[in-house]
């Protein structure tokens, strides 16, 4: 289809600025008075964690482009230096606002609830004595202060570790006078210490590890005067640079590379706001950083470590009500999962419905003497994965177990390496997919002997086989024994484990071969339908929308009269509502208790209503550099559920939804009338022992 619209850089949002906009929406949860107080503290920590990864990966990439003088622009038209300037300015604003929320809102409200973070200036004698004892007993024996001189150069500071720069005056026992020492806080110790109730003089009293060290730092430098002590934290480039084409064994090569991640190039320096300019400049120089890389914060520099606080405070009223997921109704009466799947396709909606359905699928397969083979992909999984343990047991029982483990799942590489080794030791076939393409597809297939022949069962999903995140991320999973879909899944596994040309698949769209082209065909078909005067409609839900050709096709479809709703949780490079370009496109982002992770693609197609679920977002990497699958929902009842629970209910949300404006900014979608929360409604629909959803008029 020809692109009749003249597009320019004004019609595209920069990827990094879009990610910061998403993090701003996360940060807004910490300001929302409807969110329980300890959950607001968690959102501050989640924001910090998101920003850490943003600097480790995205900012590090931009800095590399600047370093090597790359002059190529993206669709947004920004050169790397221009993009970095905008990113740095916005990031500084967001971080300053984060600490303002912490200091002016969250901490005072916690104090009202008798939850106190005791500062050094307010310690009474009993607290001071207890803390001093803790320092000498728990902290001092494992501290290693390093005085800087020719024999002691600046230490290799670990990525995101808590450190202190200490200004000193005087000479030590050897007559040395360096003036500066570095103290690295032990990673083994928590960053927040809980005081006994009788010592704290309140129900919940905490003291920061940094405060304890500040108060007693002079004990580390006998006979010298401590002029100042300043906490700092450096964030490093965490992208791995393994040459996977040169490596003979990816697992062994990756194991050797992981240790270097902690010492990549510096990309950000955080210091407390009491750190003088001279010391900040000294630290910047040590890490090869510049003024724009410095973040002076009003509080502790490792805010993400406050994530432990809600678990230490027994105040249910300050947390989300407990949620117990229900069991898929198809599996309540019929405990034999294979018998249940033979009756009908089964859809499970996480976290509203229990992930145990997936665990049972693999566990029963491991124990069933009629099951001959199990094949499964893994991108991310938990350290205590029941599914992995079941696969190991199945292999020990002599079943053919084949597991495709993605070694390059960012920040989960070490966990995946460990599972791969355990699986191999049990006799499973372990492969690492295709060199140069991450295996991101979520697939499991079981081959079972039935009625004198073999029957295949498949599980396909939008989310990972991770039993912990399945309680926090929204995802759909489909169980089916449809012969054509199972044949497609088998062909994809054959590609991943063997060699040969890809076969034409019956139903699945697959990256990097057919997914992008089929998406554009489906979008263009809606355009042609709209041009013929018929109703045309596209609804898509995903984590990110960045792929330029897909965006251009959507702009064309809008111009042809297709009504388009996009539910994009994170970065969206497309701008909606632009006159003559995207007047028929609406973009919204839902940010709430659960992380929206589902990928759903709906095309009206003259009333046929084609609905697909996928592991892939509409990004270049997903569509061309990863192994992904997109699968249709063929069962009419299941399709109706996906449309209702995954799309319609989110388009009505006016509590947790943000609407994107034509200029790329976001506004809360609050409207008059009944208040609707998609997540709350789904919890009410499927949760056990949950109070009715509150509705109000405004």
Enumerate the β-bridge partners of residue 492: none
- Coil vs helix vs strand at 593: coil
| Burial of 676 (C-beta count, 10 Å sphere; 0-12/13-18/19+) | buried
* Interhelix angle 386-396/413-426, nearest 10 degrees: 20
Long-range contacts of 76-79, Cβ-Cβ distance < 8 Å, separation of 24 or more: 76/9, 76/12, 76/13, 76/14, 76/15, 76/573, 77/8, 77/9, 77/12, 78/9, 78/14
Which DSSP string do the residues of 409-448 spell out, in sequence order?
STT-HHHHHHHHHHHHHHT-EEE--BTTBEE---EEEEEE
Report the SS3 class of residue 690: coil
- Residue 640 makes CB contacts below 8 A (sequence gap 6+) with none
Give the number of C-alpha atoms closer than 13 A to the C-alpha of residue 24, restricted to the C-beta side. 19
In DSSP notation, 488-508 reads: HHHHHHHHHHS-SPPPPPSS-
For 199-211, b/e burial (b = at least 16 CB within 10 A) is bbeeebbbbbbbb
Active site residue 204: no
| Residues pairing with 206 in the sheet | 117, 194
Matching residue, tokens 């294979």: 338
Q: What is the DSSP string of 380-401?
A: S--TT-HHHHHHHHHHHTT-EE
Among 664, 681, 672, which residue's Cα sits nearest to residue 587?
664
Distance CA 61, CA 45 (A): 24
- CA–CA dist 379, 363 (Å, integer): 19
For residue 605, which of 627, 581, 624, 632 has the smallest C-alpha distance? 632
Task: Dump the DSSP string for 204-243.
Answer: EEEEEHHHHHHHHGGGGSTTSEEEEEEEEEEEE-------
Question: Under a CB-based contact definition with an 8 Å cutoff, are residues 691 and 321 in contact?
Answer: yes
Instruction: Tell me how long the chain is.
Output: 698
Cβ-contact 252, 261 below 8 angstroms: no
Bridge partners (DSSP) listed for residue 82: none
Burial class (CB in 10 A: 0-12, 13-18, 19+), 563: middle
Q: For residue 101, how far is the Cα from the chain centroid?
A: 23
**C-alpha to C-alpha distance for 262 and 132, rounded to whole angstroms:** 32
Catalytic, out of 116, 204, 437, 440: 440
Catalytic residue set: 440
């Amino acid at each position: 289809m020809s692109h009749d619209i003249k597009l320019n850089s004004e019609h595209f949002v920069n990827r990094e600025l879009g990610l910061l906009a998403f993090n701003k929406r996360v940060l807004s949860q910490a300001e929302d008075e409807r969110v329980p107080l300890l959950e607001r503290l968690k959102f501050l920590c989640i924001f910090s964690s998101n920003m850490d990864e943003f600097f480790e990966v995205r900012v590090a990439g931009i800095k590399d482009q600047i370093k090597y003088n790359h002059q190529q622009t993206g669709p947004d038209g920004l050169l790397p230096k221009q993009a970095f300037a905008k990113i740095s300015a916005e990031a500084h604003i967001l971080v300053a606002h984060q600490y303002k929320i912490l200091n002016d809102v969250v901490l005072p409200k916690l104090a009202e609830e008798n939850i106190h973070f005791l500062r050094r200036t307010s310690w009474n004698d009993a607290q001071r004595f207890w803390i001093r004892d803790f320092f000498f007993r728990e902290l001092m024996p494992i501290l290693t202060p390093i005085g800087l001189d020719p024999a002691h150069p600046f230490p290799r500071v670990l990525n995101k570790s808590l450190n202190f720069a200490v200004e000193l005056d005087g000479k030590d026992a050897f007559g040395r006078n360096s003036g500066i020492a570095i103290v690295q806080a032990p990673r083994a110790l928590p960053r927040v210490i809980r005081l006994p109730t009788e010592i704290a003089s309140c129900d919940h009293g905490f003291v920061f590890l940094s405060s304890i060290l500040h108060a007693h730092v002079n004990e580390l430098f006998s006979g010298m005067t401590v002029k100042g002590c300043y906490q700092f934290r450096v964030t490093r480039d965490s992208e791995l640079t393994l040459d996977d084409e040169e490596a003979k064994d990816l697992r062994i090569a990756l194991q050797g590379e992981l240790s270097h991640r902690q010492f990549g190039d510096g990309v950000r320096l955080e210091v407390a706001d009491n750190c003088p300019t001279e010391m900040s400049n000294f630290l910047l120089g040590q890490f090869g950083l510049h003024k724009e890389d410095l973040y002076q914060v009003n509080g502790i520099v490792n805010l993400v470590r406050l994530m432990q606080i809600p678990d230490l405070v027994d105040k249910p009223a300050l947390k989300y009500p407990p949620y117990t997921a229900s069991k898929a109704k198809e599996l309540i009466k019929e405990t034999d999962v294979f018998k249940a799947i033979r009756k009908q396709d089964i859809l499970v909606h996480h976290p509203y419905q229990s992930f145990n359905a997936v665990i049972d699928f693999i566990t029963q397969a491991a124990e069933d003497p009629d099951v001959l083979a199990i094949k499964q992909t893994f991108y991310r999984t938990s350290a205590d994965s029941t599914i992995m343990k079941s696969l190991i047991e199945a292999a020990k029982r002599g079943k053919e177990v084949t597991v495709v483990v993605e070694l390059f799942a960012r920040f989960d590489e070490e966990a995946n390496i460990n599972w791969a080794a355990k699986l191999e030791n049990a006799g499973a076939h372990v492969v690492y997919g295709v060199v140069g393409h991450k295996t991101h597809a979520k697939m499991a297939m079981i081959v079972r002997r039935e009625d004198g022949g073999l029957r295949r069962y498949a599980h396909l999903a939008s989310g990972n086989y991770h039993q912990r995140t399945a309680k926090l991320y929204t995802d759909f999973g489909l169980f089916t024994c449809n012969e054509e879909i199972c044949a497609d899944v088998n062909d994809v596994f054959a590609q991943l484990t063997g060699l040969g040309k890809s076969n034409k698949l019956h139903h699945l769209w697959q990256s990097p071969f057919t997914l992008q082209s089929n998406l554009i065909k489906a979008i263009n078909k809606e355009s042609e339908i709209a041009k013929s005067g018929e109703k045309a409609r596209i609804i898509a839900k995903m984590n990110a929308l960045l792929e330029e050709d897909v965006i251009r096709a959507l702009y064309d479809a809008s111009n042809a009269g297709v009504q388009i709703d996009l539910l994009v949780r994170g970065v969206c490079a497309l701008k909606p509502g632009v006159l003559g370009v995207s007047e028929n496109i609406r973009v919204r982002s839902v940010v709430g208790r659960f992380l929206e992770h589902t990928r759903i693609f709906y095309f009206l197609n003259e009333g046929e209503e084609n609905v697909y679920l996928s592991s892939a977002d509409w990004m270049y990497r997903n569509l061309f550099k990863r192994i992904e699958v997109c699968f249709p929902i063929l069962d009419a009842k299941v399709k109706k559920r996906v449309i209702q629970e995954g799309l319609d209910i989110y388009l009505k949300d006016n509590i947790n939804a943000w609407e994107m404006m034509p200029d790329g900014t976001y506004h809360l979608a609050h409207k008059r009338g009944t208040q609707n929360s998609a997540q709350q409604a789904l919890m009410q629909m499927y949760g056990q022992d949950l109070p009715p959803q509150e509705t109000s008029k405004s």
